[in-house]
Amino acid sequence: MHRNKKAVAGAVKINMELKGKTIVLGVTGGIAAYWAAEIIGVLRDREASVHVLMTENATHFITPLTLQTLSKNKVITNMFEVPADLDVGHITYTQKADLILVAPATANFIGKVANGIADDMLTTTIMATKSPVFIVPAMNENMWKNNIVQKNVATLRREGYKTINPSYGKMACGGEGEGTFADIEKILKEIEEFGLFKTKNI
């Protein structure tokens, strides 16, 4: 796909922002979980280190082995089965992370974090971190527009979490609507524009 000079310049700037940084990528259980593979590729192309935390539901949509192969790091799916070199898993990942990016984020995950529920490796890590957290929702349009989901999203924003709204497009159910996974370049642009990596917030 052709890119103009402005777009290429923007990509170079993003590359400089991400180079040498550690991104913890959270993957939750929606059909958009397959985008995690491309996100890992894009981040590694920009010379970032990527560590993946998956919810159990996410493993039904894309395998941990796929994301482990792409990220070149152990993928964690169970907080009780962390590698031996991680004394307290979720604390270790909060110390590693320059940024936590949850993409995609389901309504279930959003509701848990908004209400202080930490019952898996991803949610406990987020509760313990002082690093910036970006959340990228993706779900059916009716779910996205549900008043409870919108209330939970508003709570996250009020508490300092950064959320990137889903796009309008073709849904997994066959129709079209607002709820599809946001464009990856848009995600990276919002991260870069926020200036996350000037200093590490831990």
The per-residue pLDDT for range 96-114, each reduced to its tens digit, is 889 999 999 999 999 999 9
Spell 158-180 as b/e; 16+ CB within 10 A means b. eeebbbbebeeeebeeeeebebb
Residue of 110, 129, 176 lying closest to 24 (CA atoms): 129
Residue 84 or residue 54, greater confidence: 54
Q: Name 44's Cβ contacts closer than 8 Å, sequence gap at least 6.
A: 50, 70, 71, 72
Hey, what's the torsion of the CAs at 29, 34, 35, 40, to 10 degrees? 100
Active site residues: 173
Average pLDDT, the chain: 84
pLDDT exceeds 50 at position 5:
no
Note the pLDDT of residue 37: 96
pTM: 0.84
With beta carbons less than 8 A apart as the criterion, state whether 94 and 129 touch.
Answer: yes
Note the pLDDT of residue 129: 92
pLDDT exceeds 90 at position 17:
no
The per-residue pLDDT for range 135-179, each reduced to its tens digit, is 999 999 999 999 999 999 999 999 999 999 998 777 666 677 678
Note the pLDDT of residue 19: 84
Note the pLDDT of residue 173: 63
Residue of 181, 154, 194 lying closest to 14 (CA atoms): 194
Report the range of poorest mean pLDDT among 6-15, 20-29, 100-109. 6-15
The per-residue pLDDT for range 64-99, each reduced to its tens digit, is 999 999 999 999 998 777 655 555 455 677 778 899
Q: What is the share, in percent, of the chain residues with pLDDT greater than 70?
A: 80
Note the pLDDT of residue 167: 87
Query: For the structural domain made of 5-198, what CATH number should be given?
Result: 3.40.50.1950
